[in-house]
């Protein structure tokens, strides 16, 4: 069973995504902030869905840190649409 880590500070979005992925047979872990995400990434997720706009450390900062623990794909959840934000996201993925 594939493991997905969903990191988002919005409880409703975490619940919606969790329900969807569990119905489709995935094991889902969730985290509401960077601290919780860093603890749960040690469980070796196969995919991370990571919100960029979080209080405290943002998703880009968290991405840089968790790259030391996992090599799985990381998909950013964001409402940002500027090219600079896309470049920053890709830069974090390539570190």
Q: How many helices (H) and strands (E) does the chain have?
A: 4, 4
Q: Full-prediction pTM beyond 0.85?
A: no
Burial of 53 (0-12, 13-18, 19+ CB in 10 A): middle
The average pLDDT across 4-10 equals 95
pLDDT: which is higher, 56 or 75: 75
φ, ψ of residue 31 to 5 degrees: the values are: -145, 140
Q: For residue range 12-36, list pLDDT tens digits in order.
A: 999 999 999 999 999 999 999 999 9
Residue 93 has pLDDT above 50, yes or no: no
Candidates 68, 25, 73, 23; CA nearest to 46 is 73
């Amino acid at each position: 069973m594939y493991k997905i880590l969903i990191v988002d500070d919005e409880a409703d979005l975490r619940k919606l995504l969790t329900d969807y992925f569990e119905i489709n047979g995935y094991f889902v872990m969730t985290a509401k902030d960077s601290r919780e995400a860093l603890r749960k990434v040690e469980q070796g997720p196969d995919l991370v869905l990571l919100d960029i706009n979080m209080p405290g450390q943002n998703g880009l900062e968290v991405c840089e840190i968790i790259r030391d623990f996992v090599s799985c794909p990381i998909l950013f959840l964001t409402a940002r649409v500027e090219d600079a934000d896309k470049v920053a996201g890709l830069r974090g993925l390539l570190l």
